[in-house]
Amino acid sequence: MALNPVLGKLVSKRVVLASASPRRQEILTNVGLRFEVVPSWFKETLEKSSFAAPYEYAVETAKQKALEVANRMHVKHLRTPDIVIGADTIVSVDEQILEKPVDKQDAYRMLSRLSGKEHSVFTGVAIIHCSSKGNQLETEITDFYEETKVKFSDLSEELLWEYIHSGEPMDKAGGYGIQALGGMLVEYVHGDFLNVVGFPLNHFCKKLAELYYPPPKHTVQHIKHDSIPSVDTFENLSDGESESSNFTEHKGANKLDSSRMCPSRPVYNCENSSSVRTGFTVPLENQNGASESAAKLPSKILDLMDGFKASKALFVASKLKMFDYLKTKGPLKAVDVANEVGTSVCGTERLLDACVALGLLEKTSQGYSNTDSANTYLTSDGEYSLHGYIIHSNDHLWPLFTNLESAVREGSRQNHRAFGRKAEDLFKDYYHSQEVKQRFMAAMHSIAHLTARDVATAFDLSQFKSTCDLGGCTGALAHELIQIYPNMKVTVFDLPEVIANISYFQPSEQCAAPVTFVSGDFFKDNLPEADLYILSRVLHDWPDEKIHVLLSKISAVCKPGSALLVAEIVLDEQKTHPARAVLQSLSMTEGKQRSGSEYKQLLEKYGFTDVQIKITGTLLDAVLCFKKNLSP
């Protein structure tokens, strides 16, 4: 879901970016827009002198780029997109238009012209709404431009050539990239920075807002173009086809809905933008002027109210291995997925559509297919598959959280209610049931593999020659450590029944220095010798008495100068963030999450000093501490 609700309106549409520019792709991807990239074949050869102003050239070129792609997709591939976005960035200085340099000399000419002066960067953008009527492509073109003024310092010949030899100027308008080395040439920027980089995101969002939520008729003359409507304003507006007209009326929404087009929508003209209809019709209904009185709905709360449905949709689609089928066989129609999985067609279709709405799948006329992140994280063999943890969440955590009210009332785990068995008995299952064991190991492996790099690189661990990962399970972190620190010998220490089942989780490529697995119980048995001990996602699970046993043992076996690395989510000092950790606490294990100062205090109690905390901003944080040197 895009953060900006206006972009969110495009989620269900087939959006194509008609640009090869990696910067444009990045700017739009970063705000959550999902789109295909089909670079335009339109040659940027329009006669510049025929345009009264430089921006007109940029806008026309953007339009032609987008139209070429819309036509090509419609004719050649018989796949009409809903929206095609084209853009063109130019630099204007001394009444000249500069595009991308053709060679180094050309780059030199451009940059020396810009040296010590202010110039304008114009990006023209065209948004083309497409539809197909009787095999004819119909388009509505909306275009606009944005101007940003940039001033360069005086550039010495030496700097100029050094910059040109870096290769950076060659694919950039005006011969510089403000977002990288070229930033060093710039004295000031007046206006939208992203416009210089290649895409005026802010103006684009405003333009979409105008298109998708035009103001009520009587205010058409007074449109203000300087604000993107707030999230709350637009969360009011429905995406759902099934919502009653009453609700829509209450909200005063004006939708651009191609299924209910009518020929005479007002054209909204504003400075540096225009909207042109070419055989394309736009909606009139719902312009009832009620928006001023629309009640603001609390979008965050509404999202939370729906959160459980979204989680369950993800869990069920994962459990039914829909993402696996779609990876190998997609795109598939709902009926084909239902046949593969053995489910009802209508139920499958609803679930697949829900997954599209959640951004997990894509839907085209050929059927459903995985998004890139579904391929990476949701398939059971994806590189960073979370499948194991998702199944654990569905089978184990979901029933526990269903009994959260009792858990809060009683202050204890709810295994007896959720599974009809006490926690201790469930633990016995772990020993006896291969299925439970495998599921748990797969869950732990999912998270360990995903977080391994962050943990392994949170600190420079190259000084340690031998490392022991206590409770290291399948060795996911151990393998990562060896990749990053090839001279390190890594031992994983875990229960015998874990070690007996690790083979399935080992990487296919044999590491030059393999991980050593040693069985044992870290509460009872001798720990292998090492310079560095690791406790990753261990401490939060155990009560204080057990932690006392474990940290006392590690402290006793650590030689002065050796270290302990703890990987956990570190809470802020108020102990209310990150939410992930606080929510995890609700499962009411006997352990607890801790803040940075609590970890420091705990570790110092067991003779560790120089406690360093690294908040990684990802799934796990890291705490490194050293065993005190003996006093001289």
Ligand X SMILES: O=c1[nH]cc([C@@H]2O[C@H](COP(=O)(O)OP(=O)(O)OP(=O)(O)O)[C@@H](O)[C@H]2O)c(=O)[nH]1
Q: Which positions lie near ligand X, rule CB under 6 A?
A: 19-21, 23-24, 39-40, 44, 65, 87-89, 100, 171-173, 176-179, 182, 196-198
Task: State in angstroms the smallest separation of the CB of 124 from ligand X.
Answer: 9
DSSP state of 613: E
Of the candidates 207, 221, 229, the one whose C-alpha atom is nearest the C-alpha of residue 62 is 207
Output 177 or 252, the one with its CB closest to ligand X.
177
Angstrom distances, CA of residue 556 to CA of 335, 537, 549, 559, 560: 62, 21, 11, 8, 10
Of the candidates 268, 256, 262, 257, the one whose C-alpha atom is nearest the C-alpha of residue 217 is 268
Task: State in angstroms the smallest separation of the CB of 49 from ligand X.
Answer: 19
Of 88, 469, 494, 621, which one is the catalytic site residue? 88
Output 186 or 582, the one with its CB closest to ligand X.
186
Residue 104 in 3-state DSSP?
Answer: helix
Interatomic CA distance for residues 303 and 319, integer angstroms: 23
Of the candidates 155, 131, 153, 127, the one whose C-alpha atom is nearest the C-alpha of residue 141 is 127
3-class secondary structure per residue, 12-37:
CCCEEECCCCHHHHHHHHHCCCCCEE
Task: State in angstroms the smallest separation of the CB of 81 from ligand X.
Answer: 16
| DSSP codes, 328-384 | HH-SB-HHHHHHHHT--HHHHHHHHHHHHHTTSEEEETTEEEE-HHIIIIISTTSTT
Output 62 or 490, the one with its CB closest to ligand X.
62
Task: State in angstroms the smallest separation of the CB of 151 from ligand X.
Answer: 14
Beta bridge partners of 270: 273
Tokens of 527: 């720990």
Output 162 or 590, the one with its CB closest to ligand X.
162
Q: Could you confirm whether 88 is annotated as catalytic?
A: yes
Interatomic CA distance for residues 66 and 278, integer angstroms: 14
Output 165 or 465, the one with its CB closest to ligand X.
165
3-class secondary structure per residue, 187-223:
EEEECCHHHHHCCCHHHHHHHHHHHHCCCCHHHHHHC
Task: State in angstroms the smallest separation of the CB of 199 from ligand X.
Answer: 7
**Do residues 264 and 284 touch, judged by C-beta distance below 8 A?**
yes
Pairing of strands 563-568, 532-536: parallel
What is the dihedral sign for C-alpha 560, 561, 567, 570?
Answer: positive
Task: State in angstroms the smallest separation of the CB of 163 from ligand X.
Answer: 12
Of the candidates 467, 478, 395, the one whose C-alpha atom is nearest the C-alpha of residue 438 is 395
Name the phi and psi angles at 93, rounded to 5. -145, 135
Of the candidates 440, 449, 495, the one whose C-alpha atom is nearest the C-alpha of residue 475 is 449
Output 120 or 236, the one with its CB closest to ligand X.
120
Output 24 or 203, the one with its CB closest to ligand X.
24
Task: State in angstroms the smallest separation of the CB of 180 from ligand X.
Answer: 8
Output 175 or 382, the one with its CB closest to ligand X.
175
| DSSP codes, 111-164 | HHHHTTSEEEEEEEEEEEEEEEETTEEEEEEEEEEEEEEEEEPP--HHHHHHHH
Beta bridge partners of 491: 468, 516
Of the candidates 473, 467, 505, the one whose C-alpha atom is nearest the C-alpha of residue 487 is 467
Alpha helices in 458-586, H assignment, sequence order: 476-484, 496-499, 544-557, 579-585
Of the candidates 62, 15, 17, the one whose C-alpha atom is nearest the C-alpha of residue 39 is 17
Task: State in angstroms the smallest separation of the CB of 4 from ligand X.
Answer: 21
Q: Which residues contact 607 (CB under 8 A, 6 or more apart)?
A: 555, 558, 627, 628
Task: State in angstroms the smallest separation of the CB of 123 from ligand X.
Answer: 7
Output 122 or 533, the one with its CB closest to ligand X.
122
Output 23 or 255, the one with its CB closest to ligand X.
23
Interatomic CA distance for residues 402 and 415, integer angstroms: 11
Output 65 or 207, the one with its CB closest to ligand X.
65
Task: State in angstroms the smallest separation of the CB of 18 from ligand X.
Answer: 7
CB-based burial label for 173 (10 Å; 0-12, 13-18, 19+): buried
Output 164 or 196, the one with its CB closest to ligand X.
196
Task: State in angstroms the smallest separation of the CB of 102 from ligand X.
Answer: 12
Interatomic CA distance for residues 587 and 399, integer angstroms: 10
Cβ-closest position to ligand X:
198
Task: State in angstroms the smallest separation of the CB of 17 from ligand X.
Answer: 8
DSSP state of 490: E
Positions marked catalytic: 88
